Structure 1
Amino acid sequence: CKLSDPVDVEFRYTESGQVKSLQRKKRFRKYVQQVNTKKVFFKEYGDPRTMNAATGEYSEKTPPELVASEVIHFKIGSGTYGIPRWIGNIVNMYGARKAEELNYLYFKQGRHVPAAITVENGMLSESSYEQLQEYMNGIEGSDNAHKFLLLEVEGIPKKDELSNDEEPANVKVDIKSLAEILQEDALFLEYDEKTRNKIRSSFRLPPIYTGESQDYNKATADTARKTTEEQVFQPERMIITGKLNTLFLPDLDLWHVRLILNGPDFRDPLEIAKVLTPFIQAGAVSPNDLRDLAGRILGKTLEEWPEEHYHRPIEAKPKASTSLLDTVLQKSAGSQEELVHLLKDVRDELEEIRK
């Protein structure tokens, strides 16, 4: 990724609503991708020269199938290659790797019987010494756990100074535990957790985005998603669209439009429907105002109705059917003819409401 010699390029801009252009010198970078021993060259976006993708040389005689593609380099910082986001946590990552190796070796090569064997007034027999040495060499691995050790000890006789007789020695064998000086299981577990938090914070992500959602509920999860969208993802999208608009739109001769990357919609259609219920009952919204909301709930794209009356709010009508029904119940003890007339009135009123 190195700079080439400066070349003349056309720079277009707008001034007082008019598109103008000028010639200027600009140096472009050359990029190469190496996979094993194969190299593929690329040129920077906007470079007017023809590059050979196989050799990286600028030549107008390059075959069409070998013409290098253009790339746009998104980087952090002003260096040639930029700076990774996690560069400040590289020591923590090395430490986390070593901690994992230490924990692994503890279970793979750790001594299952951490103890010291002491012999008083005696010594181990030759066979016991060899057996102990073999036991210590083969103690590695979980297959050798929970095994016992049998030792044979020969006592050193003591000579009585008065009778010159040898008395049998009181041999004593002690096995002292050394477990307290060894590391505990899952050592550096807290260190590993701290390292994960530091690396995640370098990307400004909450734990829910890395699968650590045991302490989240619906309210806290929605808050974390919205905060991350506002402070992380949306600014990143603006950086990307800003660079694409600067590079692409002038070349496409587009001056009155811009590229926008849409973000997620965190609105809950059911919650919005609950809020709109009083307005619907009061006749404050039109049917076409609710088409988009109904489409999100049903998972479909609903077009607006073209008729004019669908763009006006629905007039709220009194619930006359309820009062008529009460009248029917009150008059039910009357004559059959009056009951028939009342039911017809209810039918007419319901048809009027339906229309």
Structure 2
Amino acid sequence: MTSKLIDSVSKAKSIPIRKDITTENNKIVGSENLRRDLTLLSAPYDLTVLRTIGETSDILNQCIEAYAQNVAGFGFELKYNEDDREESAEMKSEWDALDSILHDLSLDRPAKEIIAECVRQTEETGNGYLEVIRNGSGDVVGINNLDAEYMTATKINRVTDSGGNTRRVRYFVFRDTLDDSGRVNGTWFKMFDDPTPLNVNGSIAENGNAGTATEVIQFKIGDYNKPYGVPRYIGALIKILGNRKADELNYSYFTQGRHMPLAIVLENAQLTAQSEATLQQYANDVSSQSAQQHKFLLVEAEKVGSEESMLGDDDKTKPAVHFEHLADVLQKDALFLEYNDNAVKRVLSAFRLPPVYVGLSSDYNRATVETAKQLTEEQVFQPLRESYGWQINNILKDYEFKHVHMRLKTPDIQNTEDIAAILTPAVNAGAVAPNDLRDILSKVLNKHLENFDGDQYNLPLNSASPSAVDVTKAYGGEPDGELSGMIRRLLRKAAK
């Protein structure tokens, strides 16, 4: 089973060319500037099989779910491009408009779940796809998932838009149904922002028609110039499959293995008919074993030979019954446990995840957990959030928002002990104003706290009167105020 699975993963499917929509050299019939090469390219691995490997692994699904949850599971949040600027009516209007658009990107489920599903498929197969839906006016109004195993990419084409800019694009066909003749049906898509008037059947619309195909964004792991990505666990694939095989072997031991802890050895004797029947019943009657746990077993034997030979018995011919213990040769525990542990470590290393993210935290304490989470946030999850967030902002660029943008939320991993260690000397030194602490207290108390009204609450508290406080030094404007300025910047960063 495992060898067949490896072969099916490593062999790409051959993709037939759509002869009904191409001419010789696979060129679309049409004017010179609208010709496209729609030669379909096969994936380096069977994407359908890649999506099912997680079902046979006891570690892969946990890693993929950790990515999906930590990249998109916390939802969206809006941010002004200039945090320190006072909110104007135009800024508030853009905020409300973007919030409404993000809320309505999908009518079936929250948009964050669509992004999470895209992350999940990208990690499973190395490829993820988001369909971009526009309204009649050409505005982006929705996104949707497309299953990666049914998507096939074409060769690269170079197109020129109305502004004279040349870009490289691919086209994709989604094939998951058969027509009446048994031929695979396909729905064609073009890359986001591609001006090609492509139709859903793969033909190019002319005479000023816009085409019926919708746009798609491809997410992939690896070389951007290649048509398909490669999942990050592909190097550990043999370990994943071997881990499953080891589990199957251990399971078969309990369902098909023989457990014979004792052997009865007879010398110059044979069991009586009654003893043989008793042993056979004891071995076969599994249902009554619980009732026989505290009973003893009586085994009787009789000498083999004639009565005359029994008169001259010596030590060599005396009948004897021995009980040989076989526990030493029995399998005492599961096999390949060390192999399984190494396989888990390999997969975690491929995803660059600490064990705590998949529930393996026996060797962790609070300090090491916080450190592991912070490093993983900085090196793994936050770069992915920025990549997916950039794509969402990019598909909404036609709305021309000037003051506001969206981003994927991050978890709150601040250590309150570290914050207290910073605040204690800062407060004692009179380097913190009351309003500086309101955002931090809001997070700790999980309750929104408004700033105090009055300029005196924006100045550090010390023995001097508010009018006598040197605000320049408190904000680090002079060399003597560098420490105070650093503390205030740390507090602002922690409050974000």
TM-score normalised over the length of structure 1: 0.64
Aligned length: 297
Cα distance, 1:159–1:267 mapped onto 2, change above 3 Å: closer
In the alignment, does 2:239 pair up with 1:96? no
Tell me whether 228-237 or 271-280 shows the greater mean CA deviation. 271-280
In the alignment, does 2:361 pair up with 1:216? no
Cα deviations by residue, 1:191-233 (Å, 9 ceiling, x for unpaired): 3222222222221111111112222222111111111112221
Cα deviations by residue, 1:166-185 (Å, 9 ceiling, x for unpaired): 75762222232222222112
Tell me whether 270-279 or 96-105 shows the greater mean CA deviation. 270-279
Cα distance, 1:137–1:114 mapped onto 2, change above 3 Å: same
Specify the alignment match of 1:119 in structure 2. 266
Cα distance, 1:183–1:51 mapped onto 2, change above 3 Å: farther
Structure 2's unaligned 5+ residue stretches are 1-150, 206-211, 466-496
- The correspondence for 2:234, drawn from 81, 87, 93, is 87
Mapped partners of 2:177, 2:299: distance in 1: 63
Confirm or deny: 8 A CA contact 2:190 2:198 kept in the other structure: no
Specify the alignment match of 1:202 in structure 2. 350
Mapped partners of 2:343, 2:290: distance in 1: 33
Give the AA of the match of 2:152. Answer: K
Q: What are the within-5 Å matches in structure 2 for residues 114-193 of structure 1? A: 114-124=261-271, 151-157=299-305, 170-193=318-341
Confirm or deny: 8 A CA contact 1:85 1:202 kept in the other structure: yes
Tell me whether 279-288 or 209-218 shows the greater mean CA deviation. 279-288
Mapped partners of 1:165, 1:281: distance in 2: 105
TM-score normalised over the length of structure 2: 0.48
- The correspondence for 1:31, drawn from 147, 161, 174, is 174
Mapped partners of 1:50, 1:221: distance in 2: 51
Cα distance, 1:153–1:242 mapped onto 2, change above 3 Å: same
Aligned-residue RMSD, C-alpha? 4.4
Secondary structure of 1:170 counterpart: coil
The structure having more radius of gyration, on CA atoms, is 1
Structure ranking higher on relative contact order (CA contacts 8 Å, 6+ apart): 2
Cα distance, 1:44–1:174 mapped onto 2, change above 3 Å: farther
Mapped partners of 1:91, 1:140: distance in 2: 41
Cα distance, 1:137–1:297 mapped onto 2, change above 3 Å: closer
Q: What are the within-5 Å matches in structure 2 for residues 241-260 of structure 1? A: 241-244=389-392, 247-248=394-395, 251-252=398-399, 260=407
Confirm or deny: 8 A CA contact 1:111 1:140 kept in the other structure: no
- The correspondence for 2:218, drawn from 73, 79, 103, is 73
Mapped partners of 2:247, 2:421: distance in 1: 51
Cα distance, 1:184–1:44 mapped onto 2, change above 3 Å: farther
- The correspondence for 1:43, drawn from 163, 177, 189, is 189
Cα deviations by residue, 1:261-294 (Å, 9 ceiling, x for unpaired): 4533433456535533444454433333233223
Confirm or deny: 8 A CA contact 2:155 2:227 kept in the other structure: no
Mapped partners of 1:145, 1:255: distance in 2: 82
Secondary structure of 1:73 counterpart: strand
Mapped partners of 2:382, 2:335: distance in 1: 39
